Structure 1
Amino acid sequence: MNWIVVACIFVAGLVVRDVNPAEITAGGFIDETICRTADLAEIHRKFALELYKEVSASEGANKNVVLSPAIVNMGLSMLFMGATNDTKKAMTEALYLKHFYEMNEEKHEIACIFNEYRNIDSNSPLTLELASKLFADSTLTLDETFLTLTGLFGSKMEKVDLHNDTESARNHINNWVYKNTGNRIEELFPSGTLNSLTRLVLASAIYFKGTWKEPFTTLKNGSFDISENETTTVTYMSEKLNTRYIYDSEYDIELAELPYKSLPGDLQVSMILIPSYYTFDYLATEQQWTSGYLHKAINKLMAKEPETVRVKMPKFEIFGDYDMKPHLSAMGFEKIFQPGVANFYGINGQRDLFVDSAVHKAFLKVDEKGSEAAGAFGASVGFLSLPPQVVLHKPFHYILYEKTTETFLFMGRVMNPNL
């Protein structure tokens, strides 16, 4: 029995096998004119939140979390292109695609939402780069339909000698990941992760770098409350910004938007801040969230006119390194990891492949200039009407939100900015 190793660095979707060549552009991508992103965006948001809640609960209440549900989704969606029978059915449900398939005849179009992320002018101050690649052992012959379908994600195949020279192949794959994540993700596959039985590695990467539309100009050290009994000293950024802020009493949630610079026609990416001023029970709070709940709250935020908001938040840099196998198994993907049960006949025309490991690393840096990925509220009214304030002096949640597709690129929480 041979092994498929799946690597997901930071999002993806789902696709089907039957492709009409007329709907594929010369670059290998699906024609944007037939892409219906609204249904796909809802699917992506559901997957993103469930993945986050699963990982967050497993990490415990005291750890920072940074994930790119988008790139994990993309890697799984590419793998789905080769799934058949019960494995395909299980992945369809786990990726929330069952209803989409019932409503859309052209099932392969799920790849098109990732091509929306590539809609950035070369002169844009915003950087969002997606990359994916299949690294196949020199002895493995991949099905042409599988190569065509994974090509819809912009992926190409490269032959490597996984069987006879595993260590050189591992270093080569890790170098590809390093280069495609802005030199931020090293050693995605540690020594021993791949072996002579490995036949295929699917690697997906995302790199984001953005500059605040309005940068922070004031930096000052201050106290950050990690818990009721523990504090740490952090560097705070503070500024009076022209941006959006809401308190939604229906959902008892506060949100503030920090937009990144971009050109007209580019993607529109913002960091959504979600303070939690009145509780340290963050796991209980986030486990109550649903994708529909968050989406409705964010829509209310985006519908507001920008206003003057005083924002004070810590600088932070966090790194996440996750073994995704137990998390994905808990989400309904367990069949893909079971030899003799997994059916990836569509990859090579045989039933001798299963997924041995799935890994995910993510990096996020936030400072006064912007982000690279790698609390109290007070408003008083007297003779003057003071602007709302967002002061993040306690742990908080964040979402890197793409407004055109209405999807979550990254999400997580900051429990301790100094970790």
Structure 2
Amino acid sequence: MEALLPKGSLPGLHAAQMQAVLSLLLPCLLAQVWLVPGSTPGLRSPEAQAGLETLPTPRAQTESSEGARVLQEDEGPPWLTADWQKLSGETSNLGFSLLRKISMRHDGNVVFSPLGLAWAMAALTLGARGQSRAQLETGLRLQALNQTLPAVNQTRPPRLPALFKQLQESLSHNPELGLTQGSFAFIHEDFDVKETFLNFSKRYFDMECVTINFRNASQAKGLMNHHINKETQGKIPKLFDEINPDTKLILVDYILLKGKWLTPFDPVLTETDTFYLDKYKAVKVPMMYRAGKFASTFDKNFRCHVLKLPYRGNATMLVVLMGRIGDHLALEDYLTTDLVDTWLRNMKTRKMEVFFPKFKLDQKYKMHELLKQMGIRRIFSPWADLSDLSVTERNLKVSKVLQRAMIEVDEEGTEAVAGTLSEITAYSMPPIIKVDRPFHFIIYEETSRIVLFLGRVVNPTLL
């Protein structure tokens, strides 16, 4: 499986009149499943050979028009609030864990979507069984949620996909947020996919099925790139560089977010300034400026400033700036939803001056390597059980999980420290916050508190 992740004002206009555009390309996640060459039909997993039982999967049942309304906001079941909090918290903690895994590989710029990755993995649970499914749910820390709902009009949908569906509907009902989500199933012309999988995928992930001849790799690549380029509004013109001719099914989940800063920066006030990479190196960057009321806090334990930069549509960028240059990597070992919640509870709004650099990031990660480290291994092995996906008995496995994310931050919005002359004083919030050294950012939706985007900016002049 592969996963992609899913990205001036006119002269003379006052800053308050300027239209600000947030274009954040969160991950488009892609899942690629193919027939394992040379696999033996009778091959049994180590767990099967040891006599371990596998977990049962929910039975597919006929969907009624009333059943499709199970999770409408005005008739949500009593567990909805608690489960939403669980989904939000665990998905966000998944993001912080992945950030730590990525940091073990490199200490440069980082950008990815925890929600995008969880979205693709949740879609895959519809086709997985036994230990393959159990590892997915455990790795996502959501195993307790993927039970079946109480029967409602003869419908028993899986809980986890239903929660993601409810989240999608909640986000899409906010026009100012400008969130677009969708899914593709590129299916090889002779590969039989279970009707139940297709129905649930359409119901919960709004999946569009497209028949492809993967044996003609060049044609398949062109067709898939065309579909994805169109649906992501040109943000991903070329997702696939090559296609394995043994591919049977590719699932692509994309998330495209367009929006606006609640209060844009005035481009007239943007000036070239110094950004300190470390104690010895610095670069010149376009530094934005805005004076006004900001919500912020100072964490005495970690000696960091936390600043809220709100978007229209009930979303926020949380900027975390360490007091001393070089301390940003140490903070990542302690990032959790509990810590972020503590920061948010301690926020105070006051008049301040903020300097914030413009930057653009474009990152791609091999998430399957990170997922294996987190215990999700079965779906990548010859013992993967994806029997809820295929009609015919075939030994299928997930090949890759790739994620690509792009984000551009400027005066209008997001299109997805000893560094100063004097060290920032602890125990008090300065009237000026100048983000002129490495920092972290967290973009989240305010109502659900789910993290849409997570990143680290070490050098804003590099992608």
TM-score (norm 1): 0.85
The residue aligned with 1:120 is 174
The residue aligned with 1:107 is 159
**Distance in 1, Cα, partners of 2:67 & 2:344:** 33
**Distance in 2, Cα, partners of 1:17 & 1:312:** 55
SS at match of 2:376: helix
Give structure 2 stretches of 5+ with no counterpart: 7-26, 30-56, 151-157
CA contact (8 A) 1:25 1:31 kept: no
Match among 244, 263, 281 for residue 214 of structure 1 = 263
Q: Which runs of at least 4 in structure 1 moved beyond 6 Å after TM superposition?
A: none
Q: Give the superposition deviation at 1:149.
A: 2.1
**Distance in 1, Cα, partners of 2:308 & 2:188:** 46
CA contact (8 A) 1:117 1:128 kept: yes
**Distance in 1, Cα, partners of 2:247 & 2:70:** 29
Equivalent residues in 2 for 1:43-192 (5 A)?
A: 43-58=90-105, 60-61=106-107, 63-101=108-146, 107-108=159-160, 109-111=162-164, 112-121=166-175, 124=176, 126-191=177-242
**Distance in 2, Cα, partners of 1:19 & 1:367:** 49
CA contact (8 A) 1:91 1:333 kept: yes
Distance 1:97 1:417, change over 3 A: same
Bigger Cα displacement from structure 2, 179-188 vs 252-261: 179-188
CA contact (8 A) 2:306 2:321 kept: yes
Give structure 1 stretches of 5+ with no counterpart: 263-267
| 1:54-108 CA distance string (max 9 Å, x none) | 22332x12x2111011111111110111110110111110010123347976624
**Distance in 2, Cα, partners of 1:313 & 1:17:** 52
| 1:270-289 CA distance string (max 9 Å, x none) | 11110123141432221222
Give the partner amino acid of 1:272: L
CA contact (8 A) 1:82 1:345 kept: yes
Quote the sequence identity (%). 25
| 1:225-274 CA distance string (max 9 Å, x none) | 01111100111001112221111335544211111123xxxxx1111110
CA contact (8 A) 1:40 1:113 kept: no
Distance 1:188 1:56, change over 3 A: farther
CA contact (8 A) 2:28 2:252 kept: no
Equivalent residues in 2 for 1:249-260 (5 A)?
A: 249=300, 252-260=303-311
Q: Give the superposition deviation at 1:220.
A: 0.8
CA contact (8 A) 1:221 1:234 kept: yes
TM-score (norm 2): 0.78
Is 1:314 the equivalent of 2:357?
A: yes
Q: Give the superposition deviation at 1:356.
A: 1.1
SS at match of 2:389: helix
The residue aligned with 1:284 is 330
Distance 1:338 1:247, change over 3 A: same
Is 1:342 the equivalent of 2:394?
A: no
SS at match of 2:278: coil
Q: Give the superposition deviation at 1:163.
A: 3.2
RMSD over equivalenced CA pairs, Å = 2.8
**Distance in 1, Cα, partners of 2:327 & 2:94:** 23
Distance 1:379 1:180, change over 3 A: farther
CA contact (8 A) 1:24 1:31 kept: no
CA contact (8 A) 1:277 1:394 kept: no
Distance 1:97 1:269, change over 3 A: same
Match among 378, 382, 388 for residue 431 of structure 2 = 388
Counting matched residue pairs gives: 392
| 1:312-363 CA distance string (max 9 Å, x none) | 0111111111222211211222211112x11100001434211112211111
Give the partner amino acid of 1:293: L
SS at match of 1:368: coil
The residue aligned with 1:233 is 284
| 1:377-405 CA distance string (max 9 Å, x none) | 7589xxxx996322111010001111011
